[in-house]
Copies of this chain bind each other. A is one copy, B any other.
Amino acid sequence: MKFSREIELRGHIVDSGILAKVMDCVVEYNGDFETEEFNLGRQKTDPSYARMQISAETPEQLTQIISELRRLGVLVTGEAEVTLQNVIKAKVAPEGFYSTTNHPTYIHYEGEWIPVDNMKMDALIRVDTKSHTATCAVQGKLLPGDFVVVGEEGVRVDFPERPREIGVFEFMGGDVSSERPSKTMIRQIAKELLQIKESGRKVALVGGPAIIHTGAADAVAAMIREGYIDVLFAGNALATHDLEYSIFGTSLGMDLRTGELVSGGHRHHLYTINKIMDAGSIYAAVQTGLVKSGIMYECIKNHVPFVLAGSIRDDGPMPDVIQNVIEAQDAMRKHIPELGMVLMVATLLHSVAVGNLLPSHVKTICVDINPASVTKLMDRGTSQAIGMVSDAGTFMPLLLAELRELSA
């Protein structure tokens, strides 16, 4: 193999499996490696170190391999600076632009390694050449004149080492199972949530309408009132069903206290939307006393912000729903930097959307009755995710009970 380049790796690279991933990657893309130096941490707390020569048959192949390795947190010896290119046309990135991971990322620019703000997956790195700062930006927001990183040279990623301390995110991390002790897990999730709150970071709930249908609305409303949830991401359906429950006591016409369909109940759904439309907003409906309980009520009373994102399934939609999906993403994005944990309950659409915006350090809990939804959410690159195949209607009341017990 004629073309080669030296890389370095530091940290818990063996037990975190990063060294294995690096070797795999080289082999997969038909390259070769030669270990020039290797020190295995003598004790479990010691970091290890590896220096390797990566080689390939052609320069293109070498570039490819090195590009993949960079995403694993490898340091390339003699790393050049990032290449920047100008955006010519709004929303069109220069050819060969760097597409991001959701891990902490640094660029080598004018002699320094500067961090990239607001990391999310599948975006670009926009560099402010004056202030020497870099931000993660989505394609649709690019404007002519923006400087964007092109190629992989000069970009370094901190691939998350698997945490050592044993917590629920560690022992469960990446695992989806319906065969776990449910109450034990709920208790551990409650503990983590309280720790996040104590550390000053915020907890978001991403919720689907099944929260209301399965009778979990009272528990969620209490969680908001008692300060366990700081932001709500949902859609027209959750809000409508919650307000229907508040105004009529039903959800899609079913009396949630008896489980029976109510005469004329099929109209409640549309009548609710109409009443809110008439009030002008959910806020107004709470102020005028039309709405006196429920998830949306507690959000407004307790100043918990919410983003209701529109979807093509929507009836109405209600005045608070953001009909333009890109504007809805923007509205959600504002709340991301302060989050430490996201509970994703019974909605694949909104959970994937929020997951797309999250940096990898935010802990996520995915709860859905459908194992395929849980798996899909867990596959999206969050290193600290727990999946539970469970029923919102039994999960949320039990979570509330644990939170109260642990807080008492």
Contact = CB atoms under 8 A, between A and B. Distances in A.
Contact of A395 (B254, B263, B394): B394
A375 to B, nearest CB: 7
Given A213-B181, A371-B371, A349 B257 contact: no
Lowest 6 A-B CB distances belong to which pairs?
A: A182-B393, A181-B215, A394-B394, A15-B23, A312-B353, A179-B213
Interface string A9-49: 00000111101100110111100111100111111100000
A310 B311 CA distance: 8
Contacts of A188: 259
Contacts of A406: none
Interface of A: 14-17, 19-20, 23-24, 26-29, 32-35, 38-44, 50, 64-65, 67-68, 89, 91-93, 97, 99, 122, 138-140, 164, 166, 168, 171-172, 176, 178-186, 188, 210, 213-216, 251, 254, 256-261, 263-264, 266-267, 269-271, 273-274, 277-278, 309-317, 323-329, 332, 349-350, 352-353, 356, 369-372, 375, 389-395, 397-398
Contacts of A375: 176, 371
Contacts of A65: 263
B309 A309 contact: no
Given A38-B38, A93-B270, A312-B350, 15 more contacts: A14-B14, A14-B23, A15-B23, A15-B27, A16-B20, A29-B263, A32-B44, A68-B264, A122-B270, A166-B260, A178-B391, A183-B215, A184-B257, A323-B324, A398-B398
A254 B190 CA distance: 20
Contact of A313 (B186, B278, B356, B395): B356
A270 B150 CA distance: 13
A36 to B, nearest CB: 9
Contacts of A166: 28, 260
B259 A168 contact: yes
Contacts of A26: 44
Q: Copies of this chain, how many?
A: 4
A86 B186 CA distance: 46
B278 A89 contact: yes
A139 B277 contact: yes
A186 B270 CA distance: 29
B27 A20 contact: no
A103 to B, nearest CB: 13
Nearest to A175: B379
B64 A264 contact: yes
B214 A171 contact: no
A396 to B, nearest CB: 9
A59 to B, nearest CB: 14
Given A182-B215, A394-B395, A99 B270 contact: yes
A270 B91 CA distance: 12
A66 to B, nearest CB: 11
B68 A263 contact: yes
Contacts of A267: 99
Nearest to A260: B171
Given A64-B264, A184-B258, A325 B316 contact: no
A215 B179 CA distance: 9
Interface centre among A179, A215, A329, A398 (most CB of B within 10 A): A179
Given A93-B274, A370-B370, A214 B352 contact: no
B315 A325 contact: no
7 contacts: A14-B20, A122-B315, A139-B270, A182-B392, A311-B312, A314-B329, A394-B395
